[in-house]
Amino acid sequence: MIDAETMLDRIAAADTLGDLESLRVAALGKAGSVTAMLKSLGGMDAETRATEGPKIHALRERVTSALADRKSALENAELERKLGTERVDLSLPAAESVSGTVHPVSQVMDELAEIFADMGFAVAEGPEIETQWYNFTALNMPENHPARAMQDTFYLEPREGETEARVLRTHTSPVQIRSMEANGAPIRVIAPGRVYRSDSDATHTPMFHQVEGLVIDRAITLGHLKWTLETFLKAFFERDDVVLRMRPSYFPFTEPSAEVDVGWSMERGRRVVGGQEGWMEVLGSGMVHPRVIANCGLDPDEWQGFAFGCGIDRLAMLKYGMDDLRAFFDGDIRWLRHYGFRALDVPTLSGGVGA
């Protein structure tokens, strides 16, 4: 049995991942030297075990850590070698069998931009790593506000010189705040993009896509909101029988707030948007809270507005008949070929946004 220092020296000197794996088995495998030491603890008296036990466990931790460090170093060295020697000829034509398709999420984003552009909306963007001011406080969610608990937030380590942790944005609403700060009023924008929440199942993923809309002007009412959403949904689903129902709800950044349901019907055994056989929730909306308007430097007595938001992935699922949200991010080429769009399938209102 080799001593501990010799064992650690051999690990540090391993030149290949194969050599390192042999050393791991020799130390920590079923018949490894460290494993044998651990097994010997059972035959020791209590006093000896109390003395030798911590030493053996500490050795195991040192060996495990040394193996992990050396493995990381060898893998990084191999990657650097590949990056320094391998070349890709970008001038070669792509094979027919590997031609790509436009992802349904990208297609739906283009469809949304086309529809809302026809209603006078601009597309606004913002950072995905946000301060808590933009993600929460400016949206009428101050510290300790219960609404913050409604979202499973990813918090990051504070940056150098900062005391407050930044977050991966949980919605695209911070873009609304940034747009009002930068452009004032009147304003009419949609904000599509990636958002992040700690959640994962058939209908939720840690990263998903969301679009939010904002209108700030004088004398804006709920009637303007309902007309905008009705016009959007009829154009998006390309059906004239889309029926909306608005239910009272609560969002900290709107007052009053409303959940928006859309009617559905069964066609060839599949639930589709249109008709009134049942209802499903598709949107959250409401009149922008006066505090939010004031936080952006505008006078809420002069300016009013509405906001709405929905999941882009969910819209794609409803329109194109997808059952599991997780497949959107699996990178399965068969799924992408089935649901993907050709590069020239550009959405237009004249030709149909779901071309």
pLDDT (tens digit per residue) in 266-304: 888 788 888 888 999 999 999 999 999 999 999 999 999
Q: What is the pLDDT of residue 350?
A: 67
pLDDT of residue 333 exceeding 90, the answer is no
Within 10 Å of residue 223's Cβ, how many Cβ atoms?
9
pTM of the complete model: 0.68
Rg (C-alpha) for the chain, rounded Å, is 29
d(CA 55, CA 51): 7
Beta-carbon contacts of residue 16 (< 8 Å; ≥ 6 apart): 74
Q: Calculate the average pLDDT of the chain.
A: 88
**Predicted confidence band of residue 147 (pLDDT cuts 50, 70, 90):** low
Question: How far apart are the C-alpha atoms of 108 and 83, rounded to whole Å?
Answer: 36
pLDDT in tens, 171-193: 999 999 999 999 999 999 999 99
Which residues lie below 8 Å from residue 116, measured CB to CB, with a gap of 6+?
A: 123, 190, 213, 232
